[in-house]
Amino acid sequence: MYQSTYYVDKATDTFADVLLAYGVASLLERLLQENLGEAIVRVQDAGSVYAITLEDSIEKGFEAIAWFCDLPFIQAGKKQPPDGWPGEVVDYNAERERRSEFFAARQQLSKEAKHPGATVDEYPELAVVHALAPRSDLPFLELINQMRAMDAYCKVLSAWFECRTCFPDLVRLLLSLFASTPNDVDTAEKQWEKLSKAHGIKLKNVTPVQALNPAMGKGINRPKADGPQLGNPDSFWLLEFLKFWGMRRTGVPRIIRAARPGPGRSPQDRKTYVLHPVNITLDTHDKVYGAFNRTMWSNTAVKMDALATLRYTGAFLDQWLAGQLADARWGEEPGDYVAGMDMALYKDMGSAVALLNLSGINLPRWMKVTNEAQGRAYRGVLEEHRRIVDSLQEGNADEYRLLQLYRDFLSGHDLKPFFQFTCAYAQLTISKMYKGKWAPRLTTSNLEVLIMGHNMKLKAILDSPGFQKIAAAIRRSTVIPQYFKAKGNKGPYDIRYGLGAELLRQAAYPARFIQTLSDFLYDYNRETMQVYERYKGNPPVHRAQVTTEDIEQVVSLVDEYGSQTVANLLVAFGYAREPHEAEELGTEPREDEIATEEE
């Protein structure tokens, strides 16, 4: 019972186990803080269990502390805190109204005042908006209220409050329960029966709500298939209390915005993200989670998955590079600390919500940070990808497919879906430019960072002068002239629509790919010389010719690495932009500007 490592079984293999692990870790952290003044608590995925390891052991007598509760009582409707409740009380309706006032005040700000980095000194009207900023845990409070979890929440908080007269005994019970694996819940329940009878506390079990236990619900719940029994399952109330605690500390519940909003109220479908630990201290978790939670706006379903991963990884790198993460070490990556996010999708059925899907998304596993410069390079890649993902609209079928491909790329250490994404996105970029719309593009420098993070063997391709010159030829025949045409400045060169798609169509056959590429380069050189002669050696736009040596280098690369690999890289770099090139045509919509109040 008194030791430095405690265990939480993976009883359901869903995020319910993660929530319980963080709840137990939070309890142990409080015990150490109350007795030692500080605590380093680490949550680790140890296979069949989550191990919570402590730098300082729990000693006998640590449980003899005053009652506390780190969860607020939610005052909503007829729900009132028990008499004498000493903890925090949150007026749910008042907090919702405050959030509405926040968005209303923010709408009145100028675009400059909304820009990140704007200060109250520059824009005094920001003071009112900052004063109305919603609570960081408001999504948690809304989850409890809107997913019919309020009864269970109030019951476990009230029971926890009743235990103030036997609090040390309750803590000992919990220490004993999680001191070994498998967790002996039956014995813990028997110990609770004796303790509750001695102190007149009636609560033993509560219904496990789907907000915390996505795989549980009303239905056939008999442990043996010896007869039907329709009803609600039961769970030991202390486990549910700890899960609520874990949800407040590591859960990210959000409303899904409709991809195609219609008239009237949109369905309030939900997604709950729970960070899946690998090996992380609570201190590191809190710093990254806090920064991530503040910037995680609601969005459409697939886009929100991709943005969640990008934003969390970005927040981790920001805190790391700022020197805020004591346990981060060079040579590691964010995925060494947090594997990703477990997710539950809930469908709004009007009077209730129903679980539709359980899934997960991993953090990128190609970001080994060996030094500060590399960390900042990865941060630039993430921000660039965030802007591209944010520009895609899930209500459009083609862009929805792009978002799916990009999400697949993030979750796996595989460049294939990324190349599929870059090919399709290249065509979309040309189309958007033609219409004069904002069209963010990948940059060649950040592409190289990403490719090298996945496969260093491809460096020889990227370093080849012939590859770079032919990629530049593709760029000068597609996105660059299309950009200037959309700006009303049509250049002397034709735009090769569909070039990237044609190269990739032939990539499965090396001879056909080389022939298609050669045909393009022949036309490219011919057109370059014609324009040069037409303008008597001084064309308005200069572009270099491709030499036979350049072509020979690419043919050699095809022989060594395969036509599909070379074709994918040529198209990706050919439709990217050099860092010094112009990009925007329209105005970039900011995610926080288009965020609306969650109902």
pLDDT tens digits, one per residue of 194-214:
999 999 998 889 999 999 999
d(CA 113, CA 116) in angstroms, rounded, equals: 8
Q: What is the pLDDT of residue 78?
A: 85
How much is the pTM?
0.92
Which contacts qualify for 316-325: CB closer than 8 Å, 24 or more apart?
316/288, 316/292, 317/367, 317/369, 317/375, 317/378, 317/379, 317/382, 318/291, 318/379, 319/284, 319/287, 319/288, 319/291, 320/369, 320/375, 321/372, 321/375, 321/376, 321/379, 324/287, 325/284, 325/287, 325/288
Q: For residue 318, name the pLDDT band (cuts at 50, 70, 90).
A: very high
* pLDDT at position 221: 53
pLDDT band for 223, please (50, 70, 90 cuts): low
The tokens describing 449, both together, are: 């960072």
Cis peptide before 116 (omega within 30 of 0): no
Across the range 373-386, mean pLDDT stands at 96
Confidence of residue 66 (pLDDT cuts 50, 70, 90): very high
Residue 100 CA: distances (Å) to CA of 85, 107, 185, 570: 29, 11, 43, 49
Contact 71, 63 (CB under 8 A): no
Pairing of strands 89-91, 73-75: parallel
Give residue 414's pLDDT band: very low, low, confident or very high (50, 70, 90). confident
pLDDT of residue 217: 61
Q: What is the mean pLDDT of residues 489-503?
A: 90
Tokens read off for 403? 């978002």
pLDDT in tens, 253-271: 999 998 887 776 677 899 9
Q: What is the distance in angstroms between the CA of the first residue and the CA of the last residue of the chain?
A: 45
- Of 216-225, 278-287, 576-585, the poorest mean pLDDT is in 216-225
Q: Give me the pLDDT at residue 585, please.
A: 52
Asked which of 6-10, 307-311, 489-493, 552-556 is least confident by mean pLDDT, the reply is 489-493
- Mean pLDDT of all residues in 30-45: 96
User: By three-state DSSP, how is residue 353 classified?
Assistant: strand
The per-residue pLDDT for 542 is: 86
Backbone angles phi, psi at 492, to 5 degrees: -85, -5
Instruction: Place 249 in a pLDDT band, splitting at 50, 70 and 90.
Output: very high
Residue 361 bridge partners (DSSP): 341
Least confident of 311-320, 334-343, 411-420, 564-573: 411-420
